[in-house]
A and B are shown apart, each in its own frame.
Chain A
């Protein structure tokens, strides 16, 4: 399909990358991210990076649910919406500060995740996915119709910007480092969880529920944990988004957004940590890079996605290092390993 030599070269680089110590690896990336805003010519690119960082955190959150626990969640953006609206409403109506609302929003989204999860986990597989799609829509429709609280389709404008020790976050450049901090925390948390009994239990659930149960994994509790963790990541970055955009409206939280985040996770490679990061950066930057060919932008974008799914059905990281897959794909996997 692809030039073999090129593929080998990429894989070699990737292997070396994989074998590197995780702390060193992420340290390098962090440093690169730190100097990025000083290297680019305009605030615009910093702004795009901020958006990309929002999506990185979102896809890391979804990755816990989809990639680790293997649950197809099509309504993930709802948690993001709950976080964003929590900040918008509490900061305007009650005048609370960003740092006060952040933990509150984490709590409300976790509660929401618990509520939705305990209902949805009565179902499995495709039926579960449909329910998650449903609650994603419910949140958007609620935001549209609870006019007294959310201002309906007009949205909430003039959301106060955060400040710390008298320093006020104003332009994208100032927000950049806060976004980076969110990303760093999300990466760290995912790392911690993946290499703990919780992460392993989630992966065990993805691989084989019956075997997981007989190892002592309480399915319902651990599925809920994955949901709550994902929700908290989504909710906290929702708070950041609301403060960054200073405006929230229901249309930011459409079903397409959920699909977009899912696409990022899938394209990057489910169940890995680098995967969602790569996926989110690619899917945010690609349309920007393709801006020069304006009309054909989405066409090329779509074609690239199709191409990626043909060449790397398990995402970029799965292509370099075949490993994590979603539940129900075992057949395909054994085929791959047999023919490797």
Chain B
């Protein structure tokens, strides 16, 4: 067990966005969270990354053999714990260059103090050089190497998605949360993304992803969790999920399910 979400509930006034959801993620797995729009998938991500604090439940995270509850940990500290994410609506630092974006992603690994920067201490220079080297490696990894000095907002959409992934990887995370990485991509771009996600997993990063593109979900996931109206309605392997009547009902509606 690397991450365990235990009976998490998140309410917005009268609306229960996430209702008593539990799930477990093991190291090295690719886990997908699917469900119709408004099912609470992104809210669940936001609970894990500290953007929201759930009203009930625990989020247990194992780091260096120690299990701790990360509910209530401020969002900025989550990155330091080794949980990194991308966003449903791309949130790049638009007017910064591609390389700078990745370097910001590395923020939690950089330790230079104010005076070290001021006095241009060797430690600071070394850290910067190392950071740039690693950032370039990552850009190479996602296929953006020759565009490092471009302003990120000028990149085509598909590459912006990849840059977001590179930025998230820059903090050397244990867990990578991908929020609809294939949204707006054409089939060939999606294929490429599938290969990329597999490569990231092979690097030893555990991946949790939200996705609507079923071909991607079915090809990648070891485990799928289905949410509907904030509740978990199913959990299992891609084959199990595909044949689960409750899932078909949630996606297609009851009558059609009966006909099928």
Contacts and interface: CB of A to CB of B under 8 A. Distances in A.
Do A and B come together as binding partners?
Answer: yes
A187 to B, nearest CB: 13
Nearest to B109: A216
A20 to B, nearest CB: 15
Nearest to A207: B93
B115 to A, nearest CB: 11
A210 B51 contact: yes
Interface residues of A, number: 32
Contacts of A333: 94-95, 153
A216 B103 CA distance: 12
A197 B112 contact: yes
Given A189-B118, A198-B114, A215-B79, A203 B93 contact: yes
A216 B79 CA distance: 5
A149 interface: no
B20 to A, nearest CB: 25
A203 to B, nearest CB: 6
Interface string A184-219: 000001001101111011011001101111111111
Interface string B205-222: 000000000000000000
A46 B39 CA distance: 68
B75 A214 contact: yes
A214 B49 contact: yes
A212 B128 contact: no
B54 interface: no
A41 interface: no
Interface stretch (B84-92, B186-194, B225-233): B84-92
A223 interface: no
Contacts of B114: 198, 225
Contacts of A271: 95
A212 to B, nearest CB: 7
B135 to A, nearest CB: 11
Contacts of B80: 216
A172 B153 CA distance: 47
Given A200-B104, A337-B154, A207 B95 contact: yes
B257 interface: no
Contacts of B22: none
A208 B76 CA distance: 14
B124 to A, nearest CB: 7
A214 B120 CA distance: 28
A223 to B, nearest CB: 12
Interface in B21-75: 49, 51, 74-75
A216 B95 contact: no
Of A216, A217, A325, most buried by chain B (CB within 10 Å of CB) is A216
A330 interface: yes
Contacts of B75: 213-214
B199 interface: no
A210 B120 contact: no
Contacts of A219: 76
Given A196-B117, A215-B105, A208 B110 contact: no
Given A200-B100, A333-B94, 14 more contacts: A197-B103, A197-B110, A197-B117, A200-B104, A207-B93, A211-B91, A214-B75, A214-B76, A214-B78, A214-B79, A217-B104, A271-B95, A323-B95, A333-B95
Interface of B: 49, 51, 74-80, 84-85, 87, 91-96, 100, 103-105, 107-108, 110, 112, 114, 117-118, 120, 124, 128, 151, 153-154, 167, 171
Question: Which 9 A-B pairs have CB atoms at the shortest separation, nearest pair first?
Answer: A216-B79, A216-B108, A207-B93, A211-B91, A197-B110, A196-B117, A204-B104, A213-B75, A218-B76
18 contacts: A192-B117, A196-B124, A197-B112, A200-B107, A203-B95, A204-B104, A204-B107, A210-B51, A214-B49, A214-B76, A215-B105, A215-B171, A216-B107, A217-B76, A217-B104, A219-B76, A323-B151, A324-B95
